[in-house]
Chain A
Amino acid sequence: MTKHGFFYEIRKNRTLFLMALPAILLVFLISYIPMAGIILAFKDYRFDLGVFGSHWNGFENFKYFFNSGTGLRVTRNTILYNLMNLITSQLFAVMIAIFINEMRGKYFKKVTQSIIFLPFFISWTIVGVFVYNIFNYETGTLNSVLKSLHMDPVNLYSSPSVWIWIICFFNSWKWVGYTSVIYIASILSIDAECFEAAEIDGANVFQKIFYITIPSISPTIFIMFLLNIGRILRGDFQMFYQIIGNNGQLFDKTDVIDTFVFRSLLTSGDIAMPAAATFYQSVLCFVIIMVVNGVIRKTRPDNALF
């Protein structure tokens, strides 16, 4: 900020400003303007009066959200599911990356990697079809296999607690291929001389993995965790909605903040509670990300997000 002000800059780099303008306007329109809507959390919203015309009602919406028990339930589920998903998917991705990296058969390596990457390309709608195909009571594959083994069929749609495993499984299923590519890249950037030296010293493959590979990729693992911790209050809405749908029996164990907001909005048209929930979620997310970023800046300054 020396002698040249904003207008000087605009004149000097007119074309560059114009080139960035569409993106600026777009993001302003899609993301910044709706931010004003967070005041809905403190309003008694009426569609005819609009966001700004509706009356204020203080913290009523929040009181309602938490007193009804919904607030705590969805918060608990959101955090629990995201933590489980984070741990399982990263663990599998690291495993698959190490295994694929150690494989010698070039063709086998390529084919299996492509297959494991495939689910990333599939929409959650199709995943929803899979889940229903496999687990539904009357015609599901699971039950037809059980029946052919002369065992009793199981109705998973009336046992909410197994869904955390099903959701974890499909979350990993969809993301492991993608995430393992990132880890493979990070393994490939390890200096090959380390491995050669260890081999000459007689290290076996387990020793190489535990003493060289894992320590070398741990910064990547660390960053992946931190990035995802920041999103711990934002469930993957599409996944939850497609797998669980409007299955009321399972809500106690599967309802997360995003599905709750969406369902209230679409089915009951109730604005008050979801508005409060959205605000609560955004603020908590923001706080968590600030803390996470602070931690990164302290420990690994190069990797700080901002």
Chain B
Amino acid sequence: MENKLAIDAKGRIPKTEGANLLFNVISYTVVIVAAILCLLPFEILISGSFTDEKAIALHGYGIIPSKFSLEAYHVLFKFPDSIIRAYGVSIFITVVGTAIGLFITSMTAYVMNRKDFKYRNKLAFFFYFTTLFNGGILSTYIFFVKYLQLKNDLTSLILPLLINVFYLIVMRTFISSIPDSISESAKIDGAGDFTIFMKLILPLTKPGLATIGLFYALDYWNDWYNAMLYITDVNKYPLQYLLFSTLQSAEAISRISKMASVAQISVPTLSLKLAMAVIATGPIILVYPSVQKYFVKGLTVGAIKG
């Protein structure tokens, strides 16, 4: 290989440039195609939600609306109660779950990182083991429903996602980049462990807190699975599950439509589903540009250290 490189350096520089050009063509093409493929489903979704019902039935979902219509959004906003309630549930579990999860995770990560805490490795294994072995959904379900009586209780949506061992490990990596001497000198000055954590460590791990907090928030916001297991009361559906169940059953659509169609309008079921999907995705798309950089930063730190 060295030989080949030497020859290139002697006089065949144009060949190198040719290869570089070829590479640029390939890489830009692949990345552009990938980016288009990533956006296309959103495009089809949004386009479908703005398409006239009859046009969908006739021509199917297209990349651009074959006949523009706002009907689906009209119907949704005519009877917004179930959506507003679902938004409420989603926001509630996201805020409460993220706040508690973040607090407990960072606090535990700090303890696990303290060199003078003798059982820190045992503690790490105690947490790590749960990712290797678990009882499965069956026994968890029975335990939650029969023994904890959490059916139709919002606690059942918060508890299962409250502590994530992977995030705990990432947080520990973050905290390990803070010099131990900070804790030690604060201790000599007479500060308690909890005070050290709250006053000194937390402010220093802001990027870590942001990353983990976003992970938790995303998990709660996108959760439909726990709702499917534990929630049967329509008034307690989180947004994603409301969407899922609406898509699953024509019954839910007709329920909305019956309440909405006081004036006997025909209900656009096909585009209505898509409009609901757009409304459920909306907030994430809106906050996405501003939070994305934290994710990239957080993941980068985690990857280099881990």
Contacts and interface: CB of A to CB of B under 8 A. Distances in A.
A154 to B, nearest CB: 13
A166 interface: no
Contacts, number: 292
Interface string A194-216: 00001011111111000100000
A206 B22 CA distance: 10
Given A123-B224, A203-B8, A118 B288 contact: yes
Nearest to B298: A181
| Chain B CB within 10 Å, residue with most, of A40, A111, A118, A237 | A118
Nearest to A131: B41
A229 interface: no
A102 interface: yes
B107 A23 contact: yes
A27 B167 CA distance: 14
A147 B19 contact: no
A47 B194 contact: no
B142 A51 contact: yes
Contacts of B142: 37, 40, 51
Given A102-B27, A181-B296, A202-B8, A13 B193 contact: yes
Contacts of B8: 201-204
Contacts of B17: 204
A130 B44 contact: yes
Contact of A23 (B116, B160, B163, B302): B163
Interface in B223-282: 223-225, 228, 240-241, 243-244, 247-248, 270, 273-274, 277, 280-281
A177 interface: yes
Given A15-B193, A129-B247, A141 B63 contact: yes
A189 interface: yes
A82 B16 CA distance: 39
Given A32-B130, A37-B139, A204-B15, A129 B274 contact: yes
A27 B296 contact: no
B111 A35 contact: no
Nearest to A281: B136
Contacts of B92: none
A112 B23 CA distance: 17
Residue among A20, A128, A188, A281 with the highest chain B CB neighbour number at 10 A: A20
B185 interface: no
Q: Which of B2, B61, B123, B162 has the most CB of A within 10 A?
A: B61
B46 to A, nearest CB: 11
Given A22-B104, A99-B30, A282-B134, 15 more contacts: A22-B107, A27-B130, A30-B160, A37-B142, A95-B30, A96-B31, A124-B224, A125-B277, A126-B277, A181-B300, A185-B300, A202-B13, A204-B20, A220-B303, A261-B138
